[in-house]
Amino acid sequence: MEFRDLKAQYNKHKEAIDTAVTAVMAKGQFIGGEPVARLEETLAGYVGAKHCISCANGTDALLLALLAWGVGEGDAVFVPDFTFFSTAEVVPWVGAEPVFVDIDGDTFNLSPQALERAVSAVCEEGRLRPRAVIAVDLFGQCAEYGKIREITEKYGLLLMEDAAQGFGGRIGEKRACSFGDISTTSFFPAKPLGCYGDGGAVFTDNDEWAELIRSYKVHGKGLDKYDNIRIGMNSRLDTVQAAVLLEKLQFFEEELEGCNRAADFYTERLRERVKTPTVLPGYYSSWAQYTVRFADEKQREEAMLRLKEAGIPSMVYYRKPIHALKAFAQIQTNKNDCRTAQEASAVCLSLPMHAYLQESELETICKLI
């Protein structure tokens, strides 16, 4: 059994994907070109943002956003303590200081209450300038942007949405990647919308930031890439990847529905045994992960072993909250109480999740749990 079955996906859509990739080869243009431009236009329309700027991966997307905002030394950037490393990694990269914020015990997402406490603590201390919040749509569900937006407005902070796992999710009719002042995503193969390598994108309605990001991603280009007007980087999406993504978008909604069916099946069977995921009313998850919680760490490890013995992969996302990672031991950060993140890391387990899971497979997994 596969944790995320990219082979089944390819086999089902082989003809269309092969044709699209071969067309790029035949044309001989591998960087930029029509597929990249068409993808950016399509994605902007899908998300409901004015600009989509493609880039090399989801980590660069976060970094490009911070560069466009000029976030740097002396700035505090608020980041959930329970996320993939990238969300926090980009903050010291631009010279700013991450402030780790605890999560909500039901959704795994940034806790608005903890965020407000963390922001006022930084204001009171007066050492750093509170600058931006990076909220994460963890495991496919959008963060609570209504409440988070109230806080960013109250304190004059910029809001970034890290939708690397949330692409395809919604709150009401509004899609992920439309909630931040700048929003970002990743097309890493295992993400909800994955390509066949690395890829990412940045979304915004702001013309000025969009232009800056288009410059930063191509060596700080001015009129062209040999007219360098600032220090930038090389972060482009390959033409082949754009072609793959355009094909995958054709069946993306169908896959989201398949993931939601699998999630409903799991929840129905498992909710008496473990803590199943909470999807807030009006929210639609893209189910990057289906993550349950056990009563304690021992039960989690036992379940993982039982699944493994039956040839079923499962993963712990994440074994350590961000503040406990060695990389942040040497970096000055706040000492916020992040006990919910700490607890989650000890008891959570992500189960196989994709649109090609058979009911018999889901049944087997649930029985083992």
Ligand X SMILES: *Cc1c(COP(=O)(O)O)cnc(C)c1O
Residues near ligand X (CB under 6 A) are: 57-59, 83-84, 86-87, 136, 162, 164-165, 186, 188, 198, 200
> How open is the CA angle 354-180-210, to the nearest 5 degrees?
105
- Closest-CB residue for ligand X? 58
Q: Locate tokens 């390509």: which residue?
A: 195
Neighbour-count burial for 309-320, b at 16+ CB within 10 Å, e otherwise: eeebebbbbbeb
CA distances 362 to 33, 232, 247, Å, are 42, 47, 28
CA distances 67 to 108, 134, 212, 322, Å, are 28, 14, 8, 22
- Nearest distance in Å: CB 52, ligand X: 16
Give start and end residues of each alpha helix (H) in the chain: 6-27, 34-47, 58-69, 86-93, 112-125, 145-155, 207-216, 239-250, 252-270, 297-309, 339-347, 359-368
Give the residue with the Cβ less far from ligand X, 83 or 350. 83
Pick the closest to residue 180 from 342, 302, 51 (CA basis).
51
Pairing status of strand 200-204 against strand 182-186: antiparallel
- Nearest distance in Å: CB 128, ligand X: 23
Give the residue with the Cβ less far from ligand X, 89 or 255. 89
How deeply is 69 buried, as exposed, middle or buried, from its count of CB atoms within 10 A (0-12, 13-18, 19+)? buried
The DSSP letter of residue 354 is: -
Q: Locate tokens 């859509």: which residue?
A: 13
Give the residue with the Cβ less far from ligand X, 248 or 270. 248
- Nearest distance in Å: CB 351, ligand X: 17
Distance, C-alpha 241 to centroid of its chain: 18
Give the residue with the Cβ less far from ligand X, 165 or 286. 165
Give the residue with the Cβ less far from ligand X, 138 or 303. 138
Give the residue with the Cβ less far from ligand X, 119 or 138. 138
Give the residue with the Cβ less far from ligand X, 67 or 164. 164
- Nearest distance in Å: CB 240, ligand X: 16
Non-local CB neighbours of 329 within 8 Å, separated by 6+ positions = none
- Nearest distance in Å: CB 48, ligand X: 21
- Nearest distance in Å: CB 291, ligand X: 13
Non-local CB neighbours of 212 within 8 Å, separated by 6+ positions = 67, 68
- State the Cα–Cα distance between residues 232 and 23, nearest whole angstrom: 31
- Nearest distance in Å: CB 62, ligand X: 6
Single-letter amino acid code for the residue at 158: L
Give the residue with the Cβ less far from ligand X, 229 or 327. 327
- Nearest distance in Å: CB 161, ligand X: 10
Give the residue with the Cβ less far from ligand X, 166 or 270. 166
- Nearest distance in Å: CB 187, ligand X: 7
